[in-house]
Each structure stands twice: as C-alpha cells, then as structure tokens.
Structure 1
Amino acid sequence: MGSDDTLGKVKDPLVAVVQWVKSRPPRTKTGLGVLGALLLLLTLWRTVKDHDTLFVLAEVAHFIGIGLLGYKLQKKKSVAGLSLQSQLLTATFLAVRLFCSFMMEYDIHTVLDGLTLIATLAVVYCMTATDMRLTYQKEQDMIKFYYVLVPCALLAFIAKPSTSHLYLFRVFWAFCVYLEAVSVYPQLRMMQKAKVVERFTAHYVFALGLSRFLSCAHWILQILEGNRYLWQALGSGLWPAMVLASEVVQTFILADFCYYYVKSYAEGSGIVRLPAGIV
C-alpha cells in the first residue's frame, strides 16, 4: 500500500513540463518557442530527403483544414467564428495561383490547389447564399478583404519574378505569394475580438499554421543545405528576398495562435482563449 501511495504522488512529467513553461516570463517562452521550431526544422532536415515533399504536405494540411470547416458546417449548420473576408482572400490567391499553375507549371500542386479552391468556394457559398449566413458574425469581421488585397497587388508590380514568362503572369504569381502571406489576418483579428475561439475554427486555423510552417521550412532547409541557386538568387534582386520574407511573415503571423492552441489542449481544456495583444 505504501508503494501505491507513493506512486500516486508522482507528478505526470508532461504536466510538470507544461506548468514549468507556463511559469516562465514571456521572453523565455519566446526563446523556448524558437528553440522548439529549430529542433523541429532539424528533425525535418534529417528525416525528409526530398524537401519539395514539404510543399505538398503544406497544401495537404491546408486542404485538411478546409475539410474540418466543411465538417463543422454540415454538423452545426453554423458559420459562427469564421471570417468571410479571410475566405474571400483565400479563394482569390488560390484562384490566381491555379491560373498561374496552368499557364506556367502544371503538376501535383495544381491538383491540390484546385481541390482546396473548390472547398473554399463551398465555404463562401454557405456563408453568403444559405440559411447559415444568418449565423455569420459580420460585426466582428472588421478587416475588409480589399484593405489587404490592394496593397498586395501594388507590391506585385514592384517585386515580381524575372523569368521568361509573360509580364502579367509574373505579376499574378507575385500577387498570390503576397496575398497568401496575409490572407489569414482578418480571421485572426476576428478571433482576437471574440477572445474565445470556436473549436472547429481553431482546428482550421491551426492547420493553416502547420501549412505555413511546412512551406517556410522548405525554403529554410534549402538554404541550410547550401543550395547554390537559392544563395545566388537571394543576392540577385528584390523578388527572392520578398518570397522568403513572405514565408517567414505568414509563419509568424500564426505562431502566437498555434502556441495558445497547443497550450489549450496540453491543459486538457480544448478551448482556445486569446489575450488582447496576440495580433
């Protein structure tokens, strides 16, 4: 009996680690997050031989996230917590990227983008043309899509690829890269306003965060391996640097949310609560 009592007092090591991290100051938490990201990058570096696979996994993660939204719409008949503005931005960059893929490089990415676009348009349809539109929280969806879309379009004329493709195609490609980086911003602002994030919306945004991380990891690992073409490209003009910056920006935009998402499930609540200054 004595040994059983002793075992009952032994702390769960995972709970102990979570509590220790929670007790650290914000700067230490940030450092631990960066360290964790680096360790994950090193793991991917050693285990994934073809880093282009990370791009495919990123697109699969995005599609899974949309699938979770579709499940929510079917089961709950509600679009509460979803940003229509983010869905419109997502549909826009996917449509432009799909067009560029057909014109410039038809491959597996084209198929995945096509499926994700169809799913995203289905969500937009539910939010605008069915009875579910009555559950849309328009008053909390404050960032209009054109506030994000117009600056990305202007930037695309300034920094774009210098390939042999038609000028318009190169501008379109740059536009979808920039728009993808910030398309989730209205959704994050909406969640910040609500403070408590609906469960399936949280799953969807976390899937986006995972997608962005995998895409960013692809570029970083290529640089770590000393890819000569990428190193030369980074020093050859504004466009390559802007692509890398866009990947980093979209990863960090979602980093805080992903932290609170993991934290909520580590604590066993599954309810994501966001502090005031997350975005």
Structure 2
Amino acid sequence: MRPQRKTIHTIMAWLRRQPPKVKAFLAVVAGMAALVLLRAVVRDHDNLFVAAEAVHVIGIAVLIYKLTKEKTCAGLSLKSQELTAIFLAVRLYCSFVMEYDIHTLLDSATLVFTLWVIYMIRFNLRSTYMEDKDNFALYYVLVPCAVLAVLVHPSTSHNILNRISWAFCVYLEASSVLPQLRVMQNTKIVEPFTAHYVFALGVARFLSCAHWVLQVLDSRGHLLTALGYGLWPSFVLISEIVQTFILADFCYYYVQSIFGGQLVLRLPSGVV
C-alpha cells in the first residue's frame, strides 16, 4: 500500500504545481474519460439519474448525522438548505402534475430530510449557526432563476405555469449550492461532515450531468427535440454542466485532502 500511496502523493503534488488552465484542461479530460467509462458500464443511463438522487439523499443523511451526533450546525448554510427545499418542492409539484415515477419518491424523501435539517438549524441548533458567514442574499438566486424560467422554458403541451415551474426548479437546482460555497469561502476551513455532504452533491451533480449527456448521445440528438424547441434543450444541458463545474474545484481539494489523510479540509484563497 505504501508505494501506491507514495504514487498518489506524487501525482497530487504535481497537480498542485500546475497553472489553473492546465488543471481545468485535466479536469475536462478526466470528466470525458469518466463519461466513456459510465457509457460502457451502465447500460440503462436512466439509472444514472436515479443514482444522482440517491447520492443526494446520502448527502442529506450525512448532515442529519452531524446535527444529531455533534449537536452543531457550524459550517452549514441555512440558505442553501432553503433553496434546496424550494426547488425540491417545485419539482415535486411538477412530478405530480406531469409525470409520477421513482424520481417523485426520491425527491419526496430528500425534501422531508431537507426540511428536517432546516428545522434543526433554525430552532434546535440556532446558537451554533454561523449567520454572519451565511451572507449570500437569496434574491440573487431566486430572481434571476424566475426571470429566466419565464423567458426560457419547455415548449411541451403542458400548462404554461407547469412549464415555467419546471424550468424554475432546473435553474434553481443549478445555483442552490452557491450559499454553501460562500460559507466555506468565508471560513476557509471545512469540517469533515460538511465536506462529505458537499462532495456528495458534487458526485450527484456529475451523475445527473452524465445522464443527460449520454442520453443525448444515445438518441443522436433526438432527445433535445423531445424536450422542446428553442433555447430550452440547450439550457437544460448548460444547467447540468454549470452545476458540475461549480462543485468541481471543491471536489478536487476534497479528494486531495482525503488522500493526504487530513480530517479537516482547508481551502486556499480563490477556491469556491
């Protein structure tokens, strides 16, 4: 095991010395390689989306463990949890009126857990909540997402309100993690359970993005037509890619920290 660990440390040290453009290029190459591997291993690519939602549930379970066992919500963003609850509630509404399947059940479970986390932060553990660090204004996310949803939404046969709601939850999901990243940016030190939770979100976002990209490739672009015409199909893919890249930098430092044997993740300046 020691030679393998030494090799990993050597690779990580080499990566740290590379300029940002090289790191970005390597991240893109690694993402493409992962997509090729997933396409070869996973036959039904719908399972990737189910896996993404399942990983999100696992991430929420990590938070619940932190709150119940450690009796502290330090490092957690209440605003991110509130945005998550909003987009899950809207997505559940869309699921009930547009399509009802396994995703509806997973979203229901995630919403219940998220509401429980919000309750714990607001009431039971309010004294440990870092309100001064959680200073991301929610209207910076909600207003642009609402305006964009009105302007760019699906062109299906569903009711216009349902189509706008669907678009709103897609855009909101893509940006719901921003307040959590702001908290971590302000503190620079991320304790283990919060780091595990955000990493789980990163994995979930990548699996969801891989689902859409592979579905488009498998259908030779016909899926984009099925989603509607105009800008909406492109915006769905862009939203998924944006979510992935928002968390990619954090996930890199998380993996680096894990291989380095560090229990607490320390973020350098400029990260997230």
Structure 2 vs 1, CA of residues 38 and 228 (structure 1 numbering), >3 Å: closer, same or farther?
A: closer
Q: Runs of 4+ in structure 1 displaced over 6 angstroms? A: 8-11
CA 1:253–1:228 in 2, change beyond 3 Å: closer, same or farther? closer
Aligned to 2:237: 244
Matched residue type, 1:278: V
**TM-score for the superposition, normalised by structure 1:** 0.92
- The residue aligned with 2:63 is 69
Q: Deviation at 1:231?
A: 4.8
- Structure 2 counterpart of 1:45, which letter? R
Offset, 1:15:
2.4
Equivalent of 1:165 in 158, 170, 175: 158
Pick which of 155-164 and 66-75 moved more: 155-164
Asked whether the 8 Å contact 2:91–2:166 carries over to 1, the reply is: yes
* Contact 1:88 1:145 (C-alpha < 8 Å) held by counterparts: no
CA distance in structure 1 between the partners assigned to 2:43 and 2:5 by the alignment: 39
Pick closer, same or farther for the CA change 1:48–1:186 going to 2, 3 Å.
same
User: What residue is the counterpart of 1:44 in the other structure?
Assistant: 38
The equivalent position to 1:151 in structure 2, one of 144, 153, 160, is 144
> Residue 166 of structure 1: CA displacement?
1.0
Matched, 1:32 2:32: no
Q: 1:173 to 1:235 in 2, by over 3 A?
A: closer
The change in CA–CA distance for 1:253 and 1:11 in structure 2 (over 3 A counts) is closer
TM-score (norm 2): 0.94
The secondary structure found in structure 1 opposite 2:132 is: helix
Specify every segment of 5 or more residues in structure 2 that has no aligned partner in the other structure, as ranges. none
Pair 234,123 (structure 1): closer, same or farther in 2 beyond 3 Å: closer
Listed as ranges, the matches of 1:57-206 within 5 Å are 57-130=51-124, 132-206=125-199
Distance 1:201 1:11 in 2: 25
Q: The residue matched to 2:167 in structure 1 has which SS?
A: helix
Distance 2:65 2:264 in 1: 18
Contact 1:81 1:197 in 2 (8 A): yes
5 Å matches for 1:186-265?
A: 186-232=179-225, 236-265=229-258
Q: Gapped runs of 5+ residues in structure 1?
A: 1-7
Residue 149 (structure 1) shift:
1.0
How many residues are aligned here?
A: 271
Displacement, 1:234?
8.1
**How well do the aligned residues superpose, as a CA RMSD in angstroms?**
1.8
- Give CA deviations for 1:157-213 in whole Å, capped at 9, x if unaligned: 111111111111111111100000000001001100100112111100000010100
- Alignment partner, residue 271 of structure 2: 278
CA contact (8 A) 2:156 2:228 kept: no
Cα pair distance change 1:270/1:30, threshold 3 Å: farther
Pick which of 18-27 and 69-78 moved more: 18-27
2:156 and 2:227 in contact (8 A); partners too: no
